[in-house]
Structure 1
């Protein structure tokens, strides 16, 4: 089923259909502020495996988790330092993904995560409305591995077809620059992938954050 979420009635029906599909362990496609995502119930190992199968991935490439509100972070991760709390309160919703140690009590299986979880609040109204109805979702880019990430629902459907129960069409996603991924699981936080959020912006909250490998350190070009 495809719902044009630019129409208010279809959006309402689409979010409800997607919520029902997620609860049944099925996959849905949603727009985000970067590219379209393929989503599954983060607490259903079978649904997460279906997501990996649809993309052609194995368990060594676990999906991140999208949440609908910044306050949900502390329910999922073991520790949120004060600087990280301030950072996410300012930068979420937005294109920043944080990798943290997960809560020991969490009963989920996202793949080979080594007890970590990558979390983000997307800056997309349709995505957050669905997340508000479902709770945390395991979400990866809506494409087959090795193929271009989908920036429209039609592109996602061309690649994923009937493996997805519900497609929420929010128009063309921005695409282009992915989220910045910040790993806070080690003694020194470090950027794993430089994306839409600059290192200088992150340094406003913690100036010990290390740049992504192969990128320029703050204040100068690579190799300077």
Structure 2
């Protein structure tokens, strides 16, 4: 069973962040709370064995890719390329928050983390746990912490035992404030297109333009 450390999601203990960053930098797998749901992930490092383990733990097809979570709004330009101005404006309005942008992958996206079509999904969660870890190790490949087909856990108590047992570290931040998976929007074109509806609506995105 992996180590479980409890902390406040918005005011995390530095020792918890240091431990999480060390595990991630060493190629480990960490379960962490976000504003939306709990995620399981690994540092976005080329050849990271933790990246492969996330798919195995989730029992998810390796042909799929994982979104990248980042620390700050500026990371949209760092990891994305040719990002339309409306997406930049929306990111400034909703990040940190439960909105994921699918954009053309920039040169900073490591090999093996972009989708086959050359895009990448990016988000800055409203979670100081996640952002603190990203500031220490860079982008993290993070997906919902559930086995394939199971509900996404919105609190530590909803995590499946198999997830807790196979992760190297689990950060218990209690309940996620949003409790709903993030909205995913296609930001590769001149106008937003919703790929998955979450707490942020198309109307809200349009109003931010």
Q: TM-score, normalised by structure 1?
A: 0.83
Are 2:20 and 1:27 equivalent residues in the alignment? no
The alignment of Structure 1 onto Structure 2 pairs a total of residues equal to 206
Superposition deviation, residue 65 in structure 1: 0.6
Deviations 1:142-165 (A, max 9, x none): 111111212233433613133211
Q: 2:159 aligns with which of 146, 156, 172?
A: 156
Q: Distance in 2 between matches of 1:18 and 1:113?
A: 30
State whether residues 95 and 122 of structure 1, in contact with CA within 8 Å, keep that contact through their aligned partners in structure 2. yes
Q: Distance in 1 between matches of 2:151 and 2:108?
A: 36
Q: Distance in 1 between matches of 2:192 and 2:143?
A: 23
- The aligned residue for residue 75 of structure 2 is 72
Superposition deviation, residue 57 in structure 1: 0.7
Q: Distance in 2 between matches of 1:112 and 1:197?
A: 24
Give the secondary-structure state (helix, strand or coil) at the position aligned to 1:70.
Answer: coil
Superposition deviation, residue 71 in structure 1: 0.4
Superposition deviation, residue 39 in structure 1: 1.4
Q: Distance in 2 between matches of 1:106 and 1:38?
A: 19
Question: Where do 5+ consecutive residues of structure 2 fail to align?
Answer: none
Matches of residues 1-224 of structure 1 in structure 2 within 5 Å? Answer: 1-6=3-8, 11-45=13-47, 46-104=49-107, 106-110=109-113, 112-156=115-159, 158-174=161-177, 176-186=179-189, 188-206=191-209
Superposition deviation, residue 10 in structure 1: 7.7
Q: Which has the higher strand share?
A: 2
Q: TM-score, normalised by structure 2?
A: 0.89
**RMSD (Å), alpha carbons:** 2.3
Question: Where do 5+ consecutive residues of structure 1 fail to align?
Answer: 207-224
Give the secondary-structure state (helix, strand or coil) at the position aligned to 2:18.
Answer: helix
State whether residues 28 and 165 of structure 1, in contact with CA within 8 Å, keep that contact through their aligned partners in structure 2. yes
Higher relative contact order (Cα pairs below 8 Å, separated by 6+ residues): 2
- The aligned residue for residue 209 of structure 1 is none
